[in-house]
Amino acid sequence: MTITLELPPDAEANLAAQARSRGLSLDAFLQTIIAAHAAAMEPVTSVQAISREGDELDREIDQLFDAVPVPPGIGRGAMRRENWYR
């Protein structure tokens, strides 16, 4: 896979210096960082299908929005589906 990254010059210089200190090219160094990060991540599990009708759908939507953090200054009720239609 080929990936193109646009990095700020100072970040690129820092990464290049770290790569050189390890005797690696920048590409090889970044590959090791990304591979290590990917290996440490938990695998993604499939998303359970959501019922698409009636009260069950309403409950599942409410549960989804209950999991969303409410930004400061916004009332908790703003995230309730029934308040979207006012």
2 belongs to a structural domain = no
Counted domains in the chain = 2
Q: How confident is the model at residue 20 (pLDDT cuts 50, 70, 90)?
A: very high
Average pLDDT score over residue span 5-31? 93
48 belongs to a structural domain = no
The tens digit of pLDDT for each residue in 48-61 reads 665 567 788 878 77
Structure tokens at 62: 């409410």
Q: Is the pLDDT of residue 16 over 80?
A: yes
62 belongs to a structural domain = yes
One-letter amino acid for residue 26 of the chain: L
31 belongs to a structural domain = yes
79 belongs to a structural domain = yes
| Contacts with 64 (C-beta within 8 Å, 6 or more apart), sequence order | none
Please spell the DSSP secondary structure of 43-83, one letter per residue.
PPPPPPPPP-SHHHHHHHHHHHHHTSPPPTTS-GGGGSGGG
Structure tokens at 78: 């703003």
Average pLDDT score over residue span 25-41? 90
* Three-state SS at 38: helix
Range of the domain at 17: 9-40
pLDDT at res. 49: 64
70 belongs to a structural domain = yes
3 belongs to a structural domain = no
**CA 73 centroid distance within chain:** 24
The pTM (predicted TM-score) of the whole model is: 0.48
pLDDT at res. 79: 65
13 vs 37: which has the higher pLDDT: 13
Find out whether 58 and 81 touch, Cβ atoms under 8 Å.
Answer: yes
